[in-house]
């Protein structure tokens, strides 16, 4: 069939539609954003970073905080209200965060951004070898700046929480001391004489007894009353002292 002059074939029309779609796509993604119309990705990432920074305790040193990249094709309308930042681990020392950034303005939007933090802290470490069963004293520990990690999450920053306790296992020098390494010191030893406090709201009496088991603070142990030869259950409350309620 002879084509009339000035008319396009179906193939030419289809090709024109495809070309127009490509041109529109290029224009959509390459047209510069007008200032004030959109939040820049850098602004949003900085909001997430500053939120994490505000959650870190004052005694923790911040070495670096970095926020994940945002897909360059996504645009966020300029919010008519201040951006809200939140996380499920607020006020917690963590290396990895997921921060939600939300706009509650006229055109609301939200996005979750991963944030990484490199943090250090002065932690109590062993100054010398501390053998199993040895009592922790001030001369056996010292402060050392350490990076916070999963391995030392249960560290100590107050010497009062360590001194007087016993090593559950041998601790080598320069090791961060954590709660799994320690146990309460023995306050009562089996077969030793103890003071038994018997107390009620009205009276309090004391008598001597013999411990039938080792005991740590707040543990219940068997004790023999030396006067009556009766075996009783008593709570360890101090060195060589147990208590019962009348």
Do both 173 and 238 map to the same domain? no
Please report the pLDDT score of residue 90 as a whole number. Answer: 66
Q: Let me know if residue 163 belongs to a domain.
A: yes
Please report the pLDDT score of residue 114 as a whole number. Answer: 96
Q: For residue 123, give Cα distances in angstroms to 65, 98, 152, 182.
A: 21, 26, 9, 15
Q: Let me know if residue 224 belongs to a domain.
A: yes
Do both 168 and 204 map to the same domain? no
Which of the listed residues 142, 160, 183 is the one where a domain comes to its end?
A: 183
Residue 187 region, left (φ>0) first, then alpha (ψ -120 to 50), else beta?
A: alpha
Residue 135 tokens read as 């009592």
**Closest Cα to residue 123, out of 96, 165, 153?**
153
Which of the listed residues 160, 183, 206 is the one where a domain comes to its end?
A: 183
Percent pLDDT > 90 in the chain is: 64
* Four-point Cα dihedral 199, 203, 206, 209, nearest 10: -50
Q: Is the pLDDT of residue 31 over 50?
A: no
For the chain, the domain total comes to 3
Q: How far apart are CA 6 and CA 31, in angstroms?
A: 34
Average pLDDT over residues 210-219: 93
Q: Let me know if residue 158 belongs to a domain.
A: yes
128 three-state secondary structure = coil
Q: What is the pLDDT of residues 92-117, one digit of tens each?
A: 778 899 999 999 988 899 999 999 99
Cα-based angle 207, 211, 215 (whole degrees, multiple of 5): 115
Please report the pLDDT score of residue 246 as a whole number. Answer: 74
Do both 196 and 165 map to the same domain? no
- Grade residue 182 by pLDDT with cuts at 50, 70 and 90: very high
Position with higher pLDDT, 226 vs 150? 226
Position with higher pLDDT, 12 vs 152? 152
The set of residues, in sequence order, having a beta carbon less than 8 Å from that of 161 and lying 6+ positions away, is none
What are the start-end ranges of the H helices in the chain? 10-30, 41-55
Which of the listed residues 99, 119, 139 is the one where a domain comes to its end?
A: 119
- Grade residue 36 by pLDDT with cuts at 50, 70 and 90: low
Q: Is the pLDDT of residue 41 over 80?
A: yes
Q: What is the pTM (predicted TM-score) of this model?
A: 0.62
Q: For residue 202, give Cα distances in angstroms to 206, 235, 246.
A: 14, 20, 10
Domain range for residue 237?
Answer: 186-245
Greatest mean pLDDT among 18-32, 89-103, 209-223: 209-223
Please report the pLDDT score of residue 199 as a whole number. Answer: 80
Please report the pLDDT score of residue 127 as a whole number. Answer: 96
Average pLDDT over residues 156-181: 94
């Amino acid at each position: 069939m002879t084509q009339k002059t000035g008319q396009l074939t179906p193939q030419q029309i289809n090709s024109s539609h495809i070309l127009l779609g490509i041109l529109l796509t290029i224009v959509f993604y390459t047209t510069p954003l007008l200032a004030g119309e959109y939040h820049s990705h850098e602004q949003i990432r900085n909001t997430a970073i500053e939120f994490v920074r505000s959650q870190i305790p004052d005694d923790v040193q911040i070495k670096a905080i970095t926020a994940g990249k945002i897909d360059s094709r996504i645009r966020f309308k300029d919010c008519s209200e201040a951006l809200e930042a939140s996380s499920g681990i607020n006020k917690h020392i963590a290396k990895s965060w997921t921060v939600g950034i939300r706009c509650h303005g006229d055109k609301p939007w939200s996005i979750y951004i991963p944030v990484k933090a490199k943090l250090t802290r002065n932690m109590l470490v062993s100054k010398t070898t501390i053998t199993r069963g040895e009592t922790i004293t001030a001369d056996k520990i010292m402060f050392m700046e350490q990076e916070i990690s999963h391995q030392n999450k249960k560290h100590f920053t107050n010497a009062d929480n360590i001194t007087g306790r016993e090593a559950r296992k041998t601790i080598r020098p320069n090791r961060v001391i954590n709660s799994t390494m320690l146990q309460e010191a023995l306050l009562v030893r089996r077969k030793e004489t103890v003071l038994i406090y018997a107390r009620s709201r009205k009276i309090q009496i004391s008598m001597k007894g013999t411990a039938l088991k080792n005991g740590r603070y707040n543990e219940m142990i068997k004790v023999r009353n030396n006067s009556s030869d009766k075996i009783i259950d008593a709570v360890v409350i101090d060195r060589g002292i147990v208590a019962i309620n009348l």
